[in-house]
Amino acid sequence: MSSEIRALEPKQLWNKFADLNAVPRPSKKEERVIQFMKDFGNNLGLETIEDEVGNVIIRKPASKGMEDRKAIVMQSHLDMVHQKNNDTVFNFDEQGIDMHIEGDWVKAKGTTLGADNGLGVATIMAILESDTIAHPTLEALFTIDEETGMTGAKGLKGGLLHGEILLNLDTEEDDEIGVGCAGGVDVTATRDYKEEETPEFKIGYTITVKGLQGGHSGMQIHEGLGNANKLMNRLLFDGFENFGLRISEIDGGSLRNAIPRESNAIVAIDAVHEAAFEAEMVENAELLKFEFKTMEPDLEIVVSKTETPEKIMDLGVQEGLTRALYAAHNGVYRMSPDIEGLVETSNNIARVIVKDGHIKIGCLTRSSVESTKLDLANTLRATFELTGCEVELSGDYPGWAPNMDSDILKVMVPIYERLNNGEKPHVAACHAGLECGILGTNYPDMDMISFGPNIKGAHSPDERAQISSAQKYWEFVLEILKNIPKA
């Protein structure tokens, strides 16, 4: 219930988050949230503009006595990742998020929460609305489509913003101050194939991989989580040689930036191998569940008889597909040699669709080093081209190079230490794609930093925001605003 969320402290933050989460805001469909934000700014009597691509900018003059400080930009993105559990009935295009409290956490009921990046948006809204929070001249930048292409950041023209410091509120660990991030590129492999009539001696089965945690394909790519597309391929691999297995359909994963949680396949096997096929599937399922017992305790593999499919894919294409998916790299490709513990380069095999004579495989390749990003993208390209696919590289966006000499970083570190009994923050680059790198192309002199409250399980239905961390983060925000250096 939003009423219990609104009672949380700090009320300014949680009330704005509840307001925002009542507005449907899927990536690529942000019309309603754009209008919501414009109405919000106009109702406050503040200068409010929408740029050519749909970003919203709201300007607020400095508080009394803060006029001599550097002007700042506070930035968050309006869209959210839409993921739900298979058994959850929910229409993201029409419904607001249904939130509840579990202990120290705010969660949604069977869906993503939208704390990524809704808590950042709510923070900025609360500051814009307040007449008691001290701050310098403020430009609030609300970008669109961060989660599926960063087209808002890419489309923001130079000269619109006048702030000297940018505070990006899209980091998900409250002890971290972000000074860099990975860039990314979409790798998409496609090909058509000839469908064949299924022979009469075959019988149909559905194979389902489910119960995986999923999660953020950047921030969690190193955790060893199961990828439903890779697990499904292991179940299908060599199926023809053993059982005459032929693939009719595969539908695995969803968004490129989410580690795939589920995959479903419809196959046909030789009826004579029915008992052997079922026995091997049980054995393989147990092996995979044992292999992933620590990271994926809820993994389920369900194999059940179904109506024999009318069509199956060409055998040669099937063999090439399963081998290409086996060979295609998924997970960490290279750790940074310069920053301890940082994933430099990775890939997520996010989406596999096989249906009606068409194959489509979608990957998101990330790296903080442009040359290594291209190297991995070309590795995937070569793998899929060898099996007859056409491969497109698209949606390329740059990383954000760390600036350890940042002036705002020098302000924030001692504030964090003072507020947290001398504890030092973790100053780091992250393997997620933040908009700072893109924004920096048109605003190269802007001093940028990223921070935020604890958010776990982003991009999955297990997404949750920590209440106590939001309180810690809010206090940090207020102190930063008080201490922006003079111009």
CATH number at residue 196: 3.30.70.360
What are 322's two structure tokens? 């399963």
Which of 381, 397, 413 terminates a domain? The answer is 397
Phi, psi of 478 (to 5 degrees): -65, -40
393 with 403, same domain? no
380 with 441, same domain? no
192 with 322, same domain? yes
131 with 230, same domain? no
> How many domains does the chain fold into?
2
148 with 235, same domain? no
128 with 259, same domain? no
Q: Please give the radius of gyration of the chain, using alpha carbons only, rounded to the nearest integer.
A: 24
Of 176, 172, 170, 260, residue with least CA distance to 221? 260
Q: One-letter amino acid identity for 241? A: E
68 with 14, same domain? yes
DSSP code at position 199: P
286: number of Cβ within 10 Å: 11
46 with 107, same domain? yes
What are 265's two structure tokens? 């396949």
User: What's this model's pTM, rounded to 2 decimal places?
Assistant: 0.77
Residues with active-site annotation: 79, 146
pLDDT by position in tens, the chain (length 487): 478 999 999 999 999 999 999 999 999 999 999 999 999 999 999 999 999 999 999 999 999 999 999 999 999 999 999 989 888 999 999 999 999 999 999 999 999 999 999 999 999 999 999 999 999 999 999 999 999 889 999 999 999 999 999 999 999 999 999 999 999 999 999 999 999 999 999 999 999 999 999 999 999 999 999 999 999 999 999 999 999 999 999 999 998 999 999 999 999 999 999 999 999 999 999 999 999 999 999 999 999 999 999 999 999 999 999 999 999 999 999 999 988 889 999 999 999 999 999 999 999 999 999 999 999 999 999 999 999 999 999 989 888 988 888 999 999 999 999 999 999 999 988 898 889 999 999 999 999 999 999 999 998 899 999 999 999 999 999 999 999 999 9
Within a domain: 487:
no
CATH of the domain at 80: 3.40.630.10
243 with 391, same domain? yes
Q: Any idea which residue has 């982003």 for tokens? A: 458
30 with 168, same domain? yes
Which of 379, 397, 415 terminates a domain? The answer is 397
167 with 262, same domain? no
313 with 423, same domain? no
Reduce the DSSP state of residue 393 to 3 states and report it.
strand
- What is the domain extent for residue 364? 187-397
- What confidence tens digit (pLDDT) does each residue in 185-244 have? 999 999 999 999 999 999 999 999 999 999 999 999 999 999 999 999 999 999 999 999
Which of 347, 364, 397 terminates a domain? The answer is 397
CA pair distance 281, 473, nearest whole angstrom: 48
Q: One-letter amino acid identity for 173? A: E
Helix (H) or strand (E) holding 15: helix 11-21
Give the ranges where 88-159 is alpha helix by DSSP (H).
115-129, 151-155
